[in-house]
């Protein structure tokens, strides 16, 4: 039961929406939702409100009913006319138009033509009846192209054609967005291909702690070894491993390693590009910016990987500041705008996160890792000094690549 009798004006609605951002309200039945919308529209005289006040009423109705914006506005328009009530569904044609005999003719046609598109199949059915005079196609020839897809899903229709593509469901990893729980340990992983060498890039979502490993090939042998190297270079425990649906990470070898270490494996959802947006941005701003696009020979992979572990990853995490979100602004359209107001190194961010709760660093950091030891690495050299040293070592690796005569 919901009692909103005390909300008598727009200011009250505005204060309610501001104070209940984390509150979830759901009216179950459609009749109750329609009655609620009709009552709100009548109570606040929606038609006479200004544009800004109407927006507040729409947000209030969305909050309480769970409807989308377009559906909410359609129902409000009906409520203004006094027509907001559940309409009883009455089937206009209770008899089946296309019987089992017609569906079998469709199946026979699909088997002969190896199942063309619905529009092409519709044309074949029409030609069979109108041009070639096959009277048995008289009824099915009138079917619409969209309804052909419906008939193909019925129990009468059997998938007997030979070239159908049926996607197989991969049971490795959970399809959902990465969950960080406001703690370090949720990493996003992706691969950057640079001709003869692959860079495996892993970034923590909270601290942006980044680890880059270079391998000559994306195969189970190299990926298995690289996985252990990546996980060991993070100073904190990993509890979530998120990647796209590429086979280099969605395979039994990686799943076995993660299951052994009790790390949840998740993969990106279809049409949700933001699920892996952080690692994609790091691929360009870090990996491509520092390693470029030119050819790298596989013969230098071992030295390049040693450079990554000793210099490049240390530079990224202790001497290269990253930007962090300090504020999220929601405009009148409900869109979020993130304000990146903090610039600091991933190591300083890790110390900041651990300092929020007393003794939490003992729970976050891996066994045998302490800030006393990490401070020696972070403050041994200044940012400029270590960056110059890192570039010097990087040039040695690139010069070795040039000496092989394979750089383009």
Render pLDDT for 318-343 as a digit per residue (tens, 0 to 9).
Answer: 999 999 988 888 887 778 888 888 89
For residues 53 and 187, membership in a common domain is answered with no
Helices 51-65, 10-19: crossing angle, 10 deg rounding: 50
Highest mean pLDDT among 86-95, 222-231, 305-314: 305-314
SS3 191: strand
Q: Output the pLDDT for position 172.
A: 85
Provide CB contacts within 8 A for 200, sequence distance 6+: 189, 190, 191, 212, 213, 214, 215, 223, 226, 230
371 and 278 within one domain? yes
Contact 310, 228 (CB under 8 A): no
Please enumerate in sequence order all residues whose Cβ is within 8 A of that of 226, keeping only pairs 6 or more positions apart, or say none. Answer: 200, 213, 215
Cβ-based neighbour number of residue 347 at 10 Å = 22
Q: Residue 407 has what pLDDT? A: 44
* End-of-domain residue from the set 23, 51, 80: 80
Q: Does 89 fall in a domain?
A: no
Distance CA 229, CA 33 (A): 55
State the pLDDT at residue 408.
45
User: Contact at 8 Å (CB) between 393 and 300?
Assistant: no
Kindly state whether residue 4 falls inside one of the protein's structural domains: no
Residues 198 and 337 in one domain: yes
Q: Please state, in angstroms and rounded to a whole number, the distance separating the CA atoms of residues 209 and 214.
A: 17
- Within this chain, do residues 126 and 198 fall inside the same structural domain, yes or no? no
Which stretches within 81-219 are classed as H helix? 100-113, 118-130, 145-151
| C-alpha 59: how far from chain center | 26
Residue 238: name the closest of 202, 267, 255, 263 by CA. Answer: 263
Range 288-308 average pLDDT: 89
Q: What's the pTM?
A: 0.61
Note whether 218 and 340 are same-domain residues.
yes
Is 257 or 90 the better-scoring residue by pLDDT? 257
My answer on whether 75 and 209 are in the same domain is no
Ramachandran class of 79: left when φ > 0, alpha when ψ lies in -120 to 50, beta otherwise: alpha
Nearest residue to 276 (alpha-carbon basis) of 173, 353, 350, 346: 173
Between β-strands 264-267 and 240-243, what pairing exists: parallel, antiparallel or unpaired? parallel
Question: Are residues 332 and 222 part of one domain?
Answer: yes
The Cα–Cα gap between 125 and 140 comes to 7
Q: Which is it for the CA torsion 215, 216, 222, 225, positive or negative?
A: negative
Residue 68 domain-assigned (yes or no): yes
Among candidate residues 276, 283, 216, the one with its CA nearest the CA of residue 245? 276
For residue 36, being part of any structural domain is answered with yes
Predicted local distance difference test score (pLDDT) of residue 158:
76
Mean pLDDT of the 25-53 span: 85
Compute the Cα dihedral for 362, 363, 369, 372 and give only its sign: negative
Q: What is the CA radius of gyration of the chain?
A: 30
> Which pLDDT score is estimated for 165?
60
The answer on 40 and 143 residing in a single domain is no
* Same domain? 257 vs 125: no
Residue 393 CA to residue 397 CA, distance in Å, equals 7
Measured CA to CA, the distance from residue 2 to residue 115 in angstroms comes to 53
The answer to whether position 1 is within a domain reads: no
Clarify whether residues 220 and 362 are in a common domain: yes
The mean of the pLDDT values for the chain is 86
Confidence of residue 160 (pLDDT cuts 50, 70, 90): low
Outline where 310-357 has alpha helix (H). Answer: 313-318, 346-355
CB 178 within 8 A of CB 186: yes
Distance CA 373, CA 361 (A): 13
Number of domains forming the structure of the chain = 3
CA distance 198 to 221: 14
H helices, E strands: number in the chain = 17, 8
Phi and psi angles of residue 65, each rounded to the nearest 5 degrees, phi first: -100, -25
Q: With respect to residue 188, please indicate whether it lies within any of the assigned structural domains.
A: yes
**Residues 57 and 106 reside in one and the same domain:** no
Q: Where are the beta strands (DSSP E) in 237-321?
A: 240-243, 264-267
For the domain that residue 322 is a member of, what is the CATH number?
3.30.420.10
| Domain match, 114 and 68 both | no
Give dist(CA 394, CA 383) in Å, integer: 16
105 is in which domain, residue-wise? 100-151
Percent of the chain with pLDDT over 70: 92
Q: Which helix H or strand E contains 256, and what residues bound it?
A: helix 252-260
Averaged pLDDT, 47-63: 89
> In angstroms, rounded to a whole number, what is the distance separating the alpha carbons of residues 357 and 137?
75
- Does residue 166 lie in a domain region? no
174 domain-assigned:
no
φ, ψ (nearest 5 deg) of residue 191: -120, 135
């Amino acid at each position: 039961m919901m009692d909103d009798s005390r909300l008598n004006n727009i200011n009250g609605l505005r204060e309610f929406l501001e104070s209940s951002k984390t509150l979830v309200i759901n009216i179950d039945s459609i009749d109750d939702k329609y009655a609620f919308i009709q009552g709100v529209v009548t109570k606040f005289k929606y038609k006479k409100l200004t544009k800004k006040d109407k927006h507040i009423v729409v947000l209030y109705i969305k909050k309480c009913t769970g409807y989308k914006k377009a559906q909410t506005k359609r129902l409000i328009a009906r409520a203004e006319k006094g027509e907001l009530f559940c309409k009883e569904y009455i089937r206009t044609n209770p008899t089946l138009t296309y019987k089992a005999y017609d569906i079998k003719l469709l199946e026979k046609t699909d088997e002969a033509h190896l199942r063309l598109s619905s529009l092409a199949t519709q044309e074949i059915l029409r030609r069979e009846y109108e041009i070639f005079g096959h009277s048995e196609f008289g009824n099915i020839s009138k079917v619409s192209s969209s309804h052909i897809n419906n008939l193909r899903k019925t129990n009468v229709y059997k998938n007997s054609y030979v070239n159908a593509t049926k996607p197989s469901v991969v049971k490795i990893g959970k399809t959902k967005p990465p969950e960080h729980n406001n703690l370090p340990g949720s990493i996003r992983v992706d691969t950057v291909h640079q001709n003869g060498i692959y860079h495996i890039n892993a970034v923590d979502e909270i601290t942006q702690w980044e680890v880059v490993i270079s391998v000559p090939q994306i195969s189970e042998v190299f990926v298995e070894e690289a996985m252990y190297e990546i996980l060991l270079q993070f100073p904190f425990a990993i509890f979530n491993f998120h990647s796209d649906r590429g086979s280099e990470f969605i395979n039994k070898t990686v799943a076995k390693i993660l299951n052994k270490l009790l790390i949840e494996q998740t993969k990106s959802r279809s049409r949700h590009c933001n699920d892996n947006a952080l690692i994609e941005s790091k691929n360009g701003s870090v990996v491509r910016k520092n390693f470029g696009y030119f050819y790298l020979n596989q013969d230098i992979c071992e030295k390049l990987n040693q450079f990554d572990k000793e210099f490049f990853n240390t530079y990224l995490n202790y001497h290269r500041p990253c930007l962090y979100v300090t504020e999220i602004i929601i405009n009148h359209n409900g869109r979020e705008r993130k304000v990146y107001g903090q610039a600091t190194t991933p190591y300083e961010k890790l110390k900041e996160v651990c300092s929020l709760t007393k003794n939490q660093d003992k729970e976050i950091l891996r066994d045998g890792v302490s800030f006393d030891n990490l401070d020696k690495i972070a403050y041994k050299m200044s940012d400029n000094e270590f960056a110059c040293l890192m570039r010097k070592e990087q040039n040695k690796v690139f010069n070795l690549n040039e000496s092989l005569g394979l750089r383009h």
